[in-house]
Amino acid sequence: MHEEFMRRAIALSREKMRADEGGPFAAVIVRAGDVVAEGWNQVTGHNDPTAHAEIVAIREACRALGTFSLEGCEIYTSCEPCPMCLAAIHWAHIDRVYFANTAEDAAAIGFDDARLYRELALPHGERTLPMARLLADEALAVFHEWASDPDRVPY
């Protein structure tokens, strides 16, 4: 079954790429042997830099299942997830990731995630994107309020 789901992700990546809907990436989310959602790269089609295949599939799966947690699900993606997608997969609590192309394969055609991984490892002051902390006390007050709310929904 794993290969069948991966073949679907690869076929979807080809189909949507050829239809000029985005880059050569797609993902399929499966729960208990059933496809819950599919996603493909829609960055250029929707002018949305966050519309990577995995993100689109996660959004669709959450809508379909009516939950923000995808525990019990697996994701099949045509390429190793970038840092943003990997973080989203963790936040969604997906159980397992299967991928076809590697980050190195993606870099060879111009999608170089290594730069982002290097940036994330640096302290704020050493990153190429300038970052500055502002109004920490005011923002922390909101965090404390949320943490003390007995009706909060943890995630």
Q: Which residues are catalytic?
A: 54
Hey, what are 94's tokens?
């997906």
Edge-to-edge strands of the sheet including 96-101?
34-40, 26-31, 73-79, 96-101
Task: Tell me which amino acid residue 24 is.
Answer: P
Residue 44 and residue 23 in contact, taking contact as beta carbons nearer than 8 Å: yes
Name the DSSP letter for residue 40: E
